[in-house]
A and B are shown apart, each in its own frame.
Chain A
Amino acid sequence: MNKKNLIDYVSIPKKEINVDLSQITSIKAFLKDFNFHTSREWYNFTDKDEDIEISVSKTGIVAITLRISPEDTEKAIALLDKISKKICSFISDKDFSVEISILEKRKIDMKQFIGKEIDIKEFRSMNFKVAPEIKMRISSRDEEHIISFRDSKDISRLLNIYSSILKGKELRELTPIEVDVTITKTVF
């Protein structure tokens, strides 16, 4: 059985919003095939197979989590971007900041990516900026990695970076504008 990637796509309004019931009614109409339930702080939409979960907080945070085959991940991110923007449009016309985290099950050649001079056994996580507006972080656990992007306005630029990482390009080929690389050494 193929292991699936997990994607977490969170849109956070720059200023707090009070989501009202009429906005939720519009989102419910858009997500018509999803099961709906509420909790104290969240409106939750889940598809019947529990592969896609969409939550809208009463303060306007839109969080989508989904499991997807690794080879469909790039396509799913592009679709998620579109779907999330549509849901946010029901809530507010103001700006949202976006955080995307991908738990990647495909192999990434981290040694190639971070540079040969770094002891890969010590590697836990790394933060850096690859464009003025894109903050990226990679962390690893055994063979799996979480790649997170924050504040990315341009989804195609983000997907280019993501595909570069998967192809094993070196960090310097991504031309990071701010080389603020932090290697957290394992203490265990």
Chain B
Amino acid sequence: MSERIKEKISIIKEEYPDASEEKKAIIYFVNSNLRISSRKDLYRQARSQVKTEKRREDRSTTELVRMLTTIQENFSDRGLKEDANKFTKYIKDIEEASIIKKEALMYIDSDLSEIIKREETSEEDRSRTTRKLEELGEDANE
């Protein structure tokens, strides 16, 4: 789509070298739409990357903590209190670091979503998400 618009702009420029006010306005309008569209694509791409990273963090931390917990329990069962305590601390440190990373990703996700909405011309329907959740909630009763 954007390639086609770029092509049209170039045709307008070639066919009508003496810029009229109307032509300038058309080119300005198309150009600014192109800029918004490519900005939105960039924000969406970044948001998708942030969400992927968040999911990766959920999964990898779960797996690591599960593994470390098995080791910690093993030390505990064998009466090796000092080693068990060391691993309890490692688990706490990993969980804390993961929470901080996920919080940062949440702030970025939220900011990018606000920016994307700001770029959109249509008014957002406030109750849209709640309505969809209610529909799913009803299906969950079945």
Residues of chain A touching chain B, judged by Cβ–Cβ distance below 8 Å, are 1-4, 6, 8, 10, 12, 16, 30-31, 33, 39, 41-42, 47, 49, 51-53, 55, 57, 59, 61, 63, 65-69, 72, 75-76, 79-80, 82-83, 85-86, 101, 103, 125, 137, 139, 141, 144, 146, 148
Contact = CB atoms under 8 A, between A and B. Distances in A.
Interface of B: 51-52, 54-56, 58-59, 62-63, 66, 99-100, 102-103, 106-107, 109-110, 113-114, 117-118, 124, 126-130, 132-137, 139-140
Given A6-B109, A101-B103, A101-B106, A52 B137 contact: no
Helix, strand, loop or mixed for chain B's interface?
helix
Contacts of A63: 54-55, 58
Contacts of B103: 101, 139, 146, 148
A63 B102 CA distance: 13
Contacts of B132: 33, 47, 51-52
B135 to A, nearest CB: 8
A65 B109 contact: yes
6 contacts: A1-B124, A12-B62, A63-B58, A67-B113, A83-B136, A125-B100
